[in-house]
Structure 1
Amino acid sequence: MKRVAVYAVLVVGAFVSVFPYLMVVFTSLKTAPELNSTAPWLPALPGTLDNFVSLFDGSIANVSFVAYLWHTVLLTVVLTVGQLVFTTFAAYAFARMRFPGRQLLFWAYVATLMVPNVVTMIPLYLIMRQIGWVDTWMGLVAPYVLGSPYGIFLMRQFFQTLPADLEDAARIDGAGTMSILLRVILPLSKPILGTLTILTIVFSWHNFLWPLIISSSDSTRVVTVGIASLQGNLGADYNLMMAGSFVALVPLIVVFLLFQRSIVRSVALTGLK
């Protein structure tokens, strides 16, 4: 009976978690009349793919959904590569290199995690406006491409768990700092690199507030802002918005299916570190 009760609670929890996604699918397959005539939690029979066709055939005014998807993919790739490169260098410096004020600088930087992003949005926008990066790709990626406090903290804590004897042995063999990092440290850091990659991909793909503030044209608009733009002054096309949301969810679902083990391992690493 105890096991039955546990599984019953798990089934209810799973249903509560999955139900919003089911509503996204159901709503995306409805026409506008069906949206108002059927309950939100019931599917339309038969469903229609007209909403998806409208997203991709360019029939919606001022919406270029294909371009939004491409911009999001490009943004995700750039931010992921930048985070991996710069976060790795910074974390290794904080973990292994000795220089005056290292601990003070590290904890001062990590302390910025306590500051909500919304607090820095306006000063950051003013800086971008002063240097002419508003509505540009440089302004879109600059706040995040050079690393993040959480990523540096995560990588630094992992580097400190690696035995220092490995580096000493490499130095005896004549390896320099860069060679040690690339040939010794990084091959041992695949789990934490996978964790950082997954976290960065999810953050970059779902990022909404900063792209909304810094972008004002289709040339830099990402998919999250594109979905929000489907809501006009006279109302919201919920069926189209849900179709766009479903399309935006598909890549992350594919990432989850392909990297289930890495995602579980990343949850374990971020929980224990």
Structure 2
Amino acid sequence: MTKRTLLYAALAVGAFLSVFPYLLVVLTAFKTRTQLNSTPPWLPAMPPTTANLAELLGGDFPHYIANTLLMTAALTAGQLVFTTFAAYAFARLRFRGREGLFWLYVATMMVPGAVTVIPLFLIMRQLGLVNTWWGLLLPYLLGTPYGIFLMRQFFRGLPASLEEAARIDGAGPLKILLRILLPLSRPALGTLAIITVISSWNNFLWPLIITSGDDTKVITVAIAGLKGGIGVDYNLMMAGGLIALVPMVAIFVFFQRYIIRSVVLTGLK
């Protein structure tokens, strides 16, 4: 009983430390500057105000939200399409150097993303894609090592007898993928889609470097831009953070089982 009590106490402390920053975002978003300076950060405003949210939503912020939605949708669609084809090739097709090429590609996950930012920017500048949608999307549109690894492991867990039966019936690789493997891979595809949506929505460093105009500005860069030349308007920044946070919290609440599935890959029961 004592061990269980200590365990739950430790879990409660960990949960509080994880949730407390988000609680501060919500509380600060509904405070005025006067209330922020006169009340402790962990206490709610009395009375709360929606002026910060109204100021953001009444300006260009909805346009930045639309840009983020467009970027997230394009990257998710590209990830699902190109990752699926690449993973199928690595899992089922036989060609020289398949295993070496796959593990070499997966090894790139060990390289920090910040290391490749400057080379990517130089490439985009040579192609004339700086501050364009193509420059924003191309580095992530054609799939990622993690996505290919996830789908490849799932495909390898499916029974090979299904493909053998399809080949006997005259089906080719493309038909096997589209008609047999993809319908069985809905859990893995859902997992990949959720992870891609979250990572795309929260992406900050690459959009900050490759874009400079309002036409391609996304919500993370817009929130960082709320910092004024004299000081930081924490009320507006927290209101922007709250707007960006709500969709991600909703996705996690409704699709958390798919996120857990990204760690524990399952095949057919």
Fold shared per TM-score above 0.5: yes
Deviation at residue 105 of structure 1 after TM alignment: 1.3
Q: Give the Cα–Cα distance (whole angstroms) in 2 for the partners of residues 146 and 253 of structure 1.
A: 27
Question: Residue 244 of structure 2: which of 245, 248, 253 is its match?
Answer: 248
Letter in structure 1 aligned against 2:138: A
The yes-or-no answer on 1:238 pairing with 2:234 is yes
Moved more, 44-53 or 261-270: 261-270
Q: What secondary structure does 2:262 align onto? A: helix
- After the TM superposition, which segments of 4 or more aligned residues of structure 1 sit over 6 Å from their partners? none
Moved more, 146-155 or 204-213: 146-155
* Shift in CA distance, 233/113, structure 1 to aligned 2, threshold 3 Å: same
Partner residue, 1:61: none
Q: Does the 8 Å CA contact 1:137/1:220 hold for their aligned counterparts? A: yes
Q: What is the RMSD computed on CA atoms of the aligned residues?
A: 1.3
Letter in structure 2 aligned against 1:42: L
Deviation at residue 23 of structure 1 after TM alignment: 0.2
Deviation at residue 152 of structure 1 after TM alignment: 0.7
Listed one character per residue, the Cα deviations across residues 39-71 of structure 1 (whole Å, up to 9, x for unaligned) are 11111111100000000112xxxxx11111001
Partner residue, 1:33: 34
Q: Give the Cα–Cα distance (whole angstroms) in 1 for the partners of residues 208 and 100 of structure 2.
A: 35
Q: Give the Cα–Cα distance (whole angstroms) in 1 for the partners of residues 240 and 179 of structure 2.
A: 43
Equivalences for 1:116-131 in 2 at 5 Å? Answer: 116-131=112-127
Q: Give the Cα–Cα distance (whole angstroms) in 2 for the partners of residues 161 and 193 of structure 1.
A: 14
TM-score with structure 2 setting the length: 0.95
Q: Does the 8 Å CA contact 2:109/2:146 hold for their aligned counterparts? A: yes
Gaps of 5+ in 1: 59-63
Q: Does the 8 Å CA contact 1:26/1:41 hold for their aligned counterparts? A: yes
The yes-or-no answer on 1:201 pairing with 2:197 is yes
Q: What secondary structure does 1:236 align onto? A: coil
Equivalences for 1:156-195 in 2 at 5 Å? Answer: 156-195=152-191
Q: Give the Cα–Cα distance (whole angstroms) in 1 for the partners of residues 147 and 162 of structure 2.
A: 24
Q: Does the 8 Å CA contact 1:191/1:266 hold for their aligned counterparts? A: no
Q: Give the Cα–Cα distance (whole angstroms) in 1 for the partners of residues 176 and 120 of structure 2.
A: 36
Letter in structure 2 aligned against 1:190: R
Aligned residues: 265
Q: Give the Cα–Cα distance (whole angstroms) in 1 for the partners of residues 127 and 109 of structure 2.
A: 26
Equivalences for 1:11-22 in 2 at 5 Å? Answer: 11-22=12-23
Equivalences for 1:1-273 in 2 at 5 Å? Answer: 1-2=1-2, 3-58=4-59, 64-269=60-265
Q: Give the Cα–Cα distance (whole angstroms) in 2 for the partners of residues 230 and 6 of structure 1.
A: 41
